[in-house]
Structure 1
Amino acid sequence: MAEVRPIIVRFPALGDTVLLTTLIRALALRYGTQVDLLASGGWVEPLLAHNPHVGEIQLISSRRAPYLLTPSQWAAVKWLKARPNAPIYYCERDPHSARLVARAVTDEARFVRAWDHWNDPHLHWVEWWLQIANLTPACVQPAPPPVSAPAFTALYPSEADHTECARWIGAQGWGDAPLVLLQPGHKKTSKRGRIATADHDKHWPAERWAAVIRGVLEHLPAARVLVCGSPREHGLVQEAIDAAGEGFDLAGRAVNLARDLPLPRLMALSARAHSMISVDTGPAHVAAAMDCRLVVLFGGFGWSRWKPRAPSGRVAALGPSAEGAARVADISVEQVLTAWRELVA
């Protein structure tokens, strides 16, 4: 059949972008071509720029802003109209996204609308994306045969990213020390006030992160514990490190990376790291996609749908499997350290 280049419409958070790599790869394998993406978010291009299954990425600044005031939406409509025969895998369900796409495409035969095929609230995102990849818009005739694609996420930092990361690690003087990553913050950390953040179901107090830092260093005295986060999370990260140093000689072995960790470096660092301990958040999915051994703390969303998927499967999930009223604060320090020690044994 003639080459058909499918389009995915998805406006993902960071972790959602990583999970989406399973759909991207499956569609690329099924159609025998790269996949184009209409998306938003400053993390999309750093994460996907070197993915061999990704073709063009068209970004909008906001799907909620008024169309007449948003040039990136005008460009997206023009971009869609320039692909009049492309099948569209529409993976959103909010009215803003629907109105934007409808400005360019009205032929329903071109669409697979993913949320019309959602029937299992416990199904993991990866399995769902693989199911969606094997659906076919009516406009595609004959339909390409279904594929059995890998059920894990994958990211592809460039060789330059790996080289830069190695140079940076050397400049810190860490040499061959085991690098254990910690990720205490999540995307709401930088959006909510301090009190509101403490009430969030993913919040784990600084003193518990401090105890984990000490436990890791007692188990691996030569390690460096690199506490990750966004620049806005610098204070949260430093609070945990300061607490870890109370009555314990850190000797520079715990480092705040919140202002020194662009996404390309996080990807390359995850590939080199000994392991990671994280709350349920985007960087945990990045680490899993780079096959870093990983312990993840889950709260109210549970892990049945959200557990990061690594190529080797070396991911330990703590907390409930199903969505409910649980909180990360229900998980003890000893549970975390025990899971981590078993994972890295």
Structure 2
Amino acid sequence: MSAQNGPVRPQVPLVIRFGRLGDMLLQEPLFHLLHRRYGRPCRVLARGSWTSALYRAHPDVGEIWELFNRRQLLVFSPQRWRMIARIRAHDGPIYISEDTRGSLKRIRWLLRFAGVPRERCVFLRDMELREHEHWVDQALRFGRATPAAYRAEDYSWNEDDLQSAPRLYLDAADRADTDAWLHQRGLADAPLVLLQPGNWHVHRWWERRGSDPKFWPVESWAALLRAMHETLPAANLLLCGAPVETAVCEAIAAATQLAQVKIATTDLPVRRLLGVLERAHSMVSVDTGPAHLAAAMGCPLVVLYGGKYGPKKWGRRSPYGKPIVNLGAPPQPVAAIAPAAVIAAWRSLA
């Protein structure tokens, strides 16, 4: 389909998605498509604080509304009542890009209390969900749907509105902050390789090491780091993660016993991480959100998959055509991947 002169009546689309970091990044092609279709940047209703950091100054996102404390009952939550008032005042199409039952139940409550008619909404679950379809391709199919209330007008799209890889944007302030941090940490004058060993449920690695499908053993990370040092002796090798992942990063650093191995789990917020990824030589990561960020910023990448889904569903895509190597054969756990395979994959990035 093709929109020759843009939409007849520009609208602000509202997208509702309660996802984690990687989930929210994979919505970016949807935001781009809806912006192009309706003529105005999207509003985004999300949960947590990472969405506003991720999409700050993004051309396809105008406003971000964030909910916190999801377990508090609606009647006792002034923030939710304020959100209901915002939704009630919103007069554009609403795209509910959520597929989990618990979150959908909460979203339907918000819409009902806001008095939003069904014909102004389209739900992801309105369409066929394909088990092994990539999340971006699913989002683009979803973005081509139109709520019943808007079908009389021309909200069509061009083929070049369908971007297959998420992309993010930095500004001068982001890059200045990254430069200052790299100099402060003594990381500015050598190649920088990033490693992401943890995710939101691997951080208690000493309890879950035998049962978590995304846990790659400490000894395997240490073997990889030693091989990286042999290949790039001058490089700084940076173990990244959230503060709760500090323990697993410290265990890996202790097992490696290299001065070039550094840890950044308390001073690498999202915008700074994006700036570091833009500058990095490469990254090796388990299947978690920062690996999506690396691909979006054009950082050469190796991803280790384990658990239910593999790259068919979650595969990273680079908007710049940079190399991405996927390893693992789900549902086998990440621990089944041999260090030699990861070392060879990382060396192939260069």
| TM-score between both structures, scaled by the size of structure 2 | 0.92
Say whether 1:100 aligns with 2:110: yes
Contact 1:237–1:256, Cα closer than 8 Å, also in 2 = yes
CA distance in 2 between counterparts of 1:181 and 1:232 reads: 18
CA distance in 1 between counterparts of 2:205 and 2:180 reads: 37
Which residue matches 2:4? none
CA distance in 1 between counterparts of 2:306 and 2:142 reads: 27
Which residue matches 2:81? 74
Say whether 1:335 aligns with 2:341: yes
Note the C-alpha offset of 1:58.
1.0
Contact 1:303–1:319, Cα closer than 8 Å, also in 2 = no
CA distance in 1 between counterparts of 2:67 and 2:188 reads: 41
Note the C-alpha offset of 1:150.
1.2
Q: Which letter does structure 1 place at the counterpart of 2:134?
A: H
CA distance in 1 between counterparts of 2:69 and 2:108 reads: 13
Q: SS state of the match for residue 203, structure 1? A: coil
Higher mean C-alpha deviation, range 333-342 or range 134-143: 134-143
Note the C-alpha offset of 1:221.
0.8
Q: SS state of the match for residue 127, structure 1? A: helix
Q: SS state of the match for residue 315, structure 2? A: coil
Say whether 1:124 aligns with 2:131: no
Residues 138-157 of structure 1: CA deviation (Å, up to 9, x unaligned): 11131311233211011123
Residues 262-282 of structure 1: CA deviation (Å, up to 9, x unaligned): 111101000000000000001
Say whether 1:303 aligns with 2:316: no
| Residue-pair matches, total | 334
Contact 1:184–1:278, Cα closer than 8 Å, also in 2 = yes
Which of residues 115, 136, 144 in structure 1 aligns to 2:125?
115
For structure 2, the residue ranges without an aligned partner over 5 or more in a row are: 1-7
Which of residues 232, 253, 257 in structure 1 aligns to 2:244?
232
Say whether 1:3 aligns with 2:3: no
Which residue matches 1:171? 184
CA distance in 2 between counterparts of 1:2 and 1:179 reads: 48
Which residue matches 2:224? 212
Instruction: Summarize the alignment of residues 36-47 of structure 1 with structure 2, pairs less than 5 Å apart.
Output: 36-47=43-54
Q: SS state of the match for residue 120, structure 1? A: coil
Which residue matches 1:274? 281
Which of residues 246, 251, 260 in structure 2 aligns to 1:253?
260
Q: Which letter does structure 2 place at the counterpart of 1:80?
A: I
Q: Which letter does structure 1 place at the counterpart of 2:240?
A: C
Which residue matches 1:12? 19
Q: Which letter does structure 2 place at the counterpart of 1:235?
A: A
Which residue matches 2:255? 243
CA distance in 1 between counterparts of 2:158 and 2:47 reads: 28
Contact 2:182–2:188, Cα closer than 8 Å, also in 1 = yes
Higher mean C-alpha deviation, range 67-76 or range 179-188: 67-76
Contact 1:212–1:337, Cα closer than 8 Å, also in 2 = yes
Aligned sequence identity (%) = 37
Note the C-alpha offset of 1:343.
1.8
Q: Which letter does structure 1 place at the counterpart of 2:315?
A: K
Q: SS state of the match for residue 142, structure 1? A: coil
Note the C-alpha offset of 1:136.
0.7
Note the C-alpha offset of 1:198.
4.5
CA-based RMSD: 1.5
TM-aligned CA distance change 1:296 to 1:193, over 3 Å: closer
Which residue matches 2:5? none
Which residue matches 2:35? 28
Say whether 1:159 aligns with 2:172: yes
For structure 1, the residue ranges without an aligned partner over 5 or more in a row are: none
Which of residues 139, 143, 147 in structure 2 aligns to 1:137?
147
CA distance in 2 between counterparts of 1:223 and 1:157 reads: 24
Contact 2:88–2:116, Cα closer than 8 Å, also in 1 = no
Residues 98-144 of structure 1: CA deviation (Å, up to 9, x unaligned): 22222114411111111221331111011111111111111113131
Query: Which 4+ stretches in 1 moved above 4 angstroms?
Result: none
Q: Which letter does structure 1 place at the counterpart of 2:262?
A: V
Residues 196-247 of structure 1: CA deviation (Å, up to 9, x unaligned): 35421000111111111111111111111010011111111011011011xx
Note the C-alpha offset of 1:91.
1.4
Which residue matches 1:146? 157
Q: SS state of the match for residue 35, structure 2? A: helix
Q: SS state of the match for residue 80, structure 1? A: helix
Q: Which letter does structure 1 place at the counterpart of 2:175?
A: H
Note the C-alpha offset of 1:49.
1.4
CA distance in 2 between counterparts of 1:115 and 1:295 reads: 32
Say whether 1:221 aligns with 2:233: yes
| TM-score between both structures, scaled by the size of structure 1 | 0.93
CA distance in 1 between counterparts of 2:343 and 2:124 reads: 39
